[in-house]
């Protein structure tokens, strides 16, 4: 069978302008990997993504592929675990395997440039405490481009894929071929969680505070922003048979109902007892202490910042503890401006 000819990658990359670059460098300057902007929407991508962008756009898909897609910090991990358990007949024993081993992280590679190895070592506060063998294994994983990583999975195995890429950067046939679960969350809570995630992984300079981070985030100058463009692309496809669009806040309001929706999407029928067991497994206090999902294995390697955690609060409205009055008004205007020409509405956000 003749191989299908690759489509040309439809977007161009450009460097940040001087003002954008100044703001980003003031907050992220110590992190070795830098950003470029992509396409008419100006998505912020780390530079290593450029070399695999066309390959990802054209990567072969399989009819049994499952994608969990989100803007980061929107309930990705909980959704991954829920989807995997439903599709694997609630095999809680097998779910003790690290989630990062059960899912391929399609765009994880873009954060790491192998040519800057020494610079990454330099941002860690205690490099002498590194578990060198496991650290090098992790770097080897993140040096593998996403399309190659997925292609390496044998055809006899099902592929579970995590991605933070917007749909426009994915293969155009994605929703014709694979199942996609997309989760969105109040962007103010996403901003707060992204800030702590950036601190956890040394992506942000030590002296930068949340207000500094917010300035980047809402101006579309942080990883894979502009945020609303990301969400609106998925919202526009929410009625596609292979797309399930969820809000993180719905997990908090009605977890059993969300579990039923996910099960139905995958053609499964769960009993009340099974739903209850999944609710107990995903209970936040239990979930954040689950060693298979909370990335504490990275802390054992020696690459996570002290005092920060991958799974933090798991609640809605925590942004109020971080936003002053000026930022609150700024966020309200930002949200209204971005939703005025769409029927997209977030739970708990009044316009």
For residue 44, list its beta bridge partners: 37
List the chain residues with pLDDT less than 50.
Answer: 1-2
Q: Which pLDDT belongs to residue 212?
A: 96
Outline where DSSP puts E strands in 226-287. 243-247
Does this model's pTM top 0.85? My answer is yes
Q: List pLDDT tens digits, range 277-291.
A: 999 999 988 898 888
Q: List pLDDT tens digits, range 84-112.
A: 999 999 999 999 999 999 999 999 999 99
Q: Which pLDDT belongs to residue 129?
A: 79
Q: CA-CA-CA-CA torsion for 194, 199, 203, 209, nearest 10 degrees?
A: 80
Single out the residue of 92, 71, 97, 72 nearest to residue 82, CA to CA.
Answer: 92
Residues constituting the chain: 351
Q: Which pLDDT belongs to residue 89?
A: 97
3-state secondary structure of 109: helix
174 neighbors 67 (Cβ within 8 angstroms): yes
Residue for token pair 């190659």? 148
């Amino acid at each position: 069978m003749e191989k299908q000819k690759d489509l040309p990658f439809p977007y161009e990359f450009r460097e940040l302008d001087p003002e954008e670059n100044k703001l980003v460098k003031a907050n992220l300057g110590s992190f070795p990997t830098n950003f470029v902007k992509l396409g008419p929407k100006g998505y912020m991508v780390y530079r290593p993504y450029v070399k695999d962008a066309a390959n990802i756009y054209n990567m072969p898909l399989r009819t049994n592929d499952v994608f969990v897609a989100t803007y980061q910090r929107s309930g990705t991990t909980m959704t991954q675990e829920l989807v995997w358990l439903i599709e694997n007949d609630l095999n809680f024993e097998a779910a003790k395997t690290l989630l990062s081993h059960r899912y391929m992280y399609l765009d994880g590679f873009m954060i790491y440039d192998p040519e800057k190895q020494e610079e990454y070592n330099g941002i860690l506060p205690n490099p002498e405490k590194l578990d060198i063998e496991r650290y090098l294994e992790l770097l080897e994983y993140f040096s593998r481009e996403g399309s190659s990583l997925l292609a390496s999975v044998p055809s006899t195995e099902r592929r579970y894929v995590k991605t933070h890429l917007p749909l426009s950067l994915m293969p155009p046939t994605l929703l014709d071929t694979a199942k996609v679960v997309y989760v969105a969350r109040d962007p103010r809570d996403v901003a707060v969680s992204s800030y702590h995630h950036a601190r956890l992984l040394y992506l942000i300079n030590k002296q930068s505070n949340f207000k500094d981070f917010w300035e980047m985030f809402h101006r579309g100058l942080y990883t894979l922003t502009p945020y609303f463009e990301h969400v609106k692309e998925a919202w526009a496809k929410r009625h596609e048979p292979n797309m399930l669009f969820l809000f993180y806040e719905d997990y908090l309001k009605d977890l059993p109902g969300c579990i039923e929706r996910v099960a139905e999407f995958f053609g499964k029928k769960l009993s009340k007892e099974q739903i209850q067991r999944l609710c107990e497994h995903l209970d936040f206090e239990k979930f954040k202490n689950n060693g298979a999902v909370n990335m504490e294995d990275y802390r054992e390697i020696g690459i996570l910042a002290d005092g920060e955690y991958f799974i933090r609060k798991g609640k809605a409205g925590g942004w109020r503890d971080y936003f002053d009055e000026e930022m609150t008004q700024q966020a309200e205007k930002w949200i209204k401006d971005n939703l005025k020409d769409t029927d997209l509405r977030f739970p708990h956000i009044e316009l």
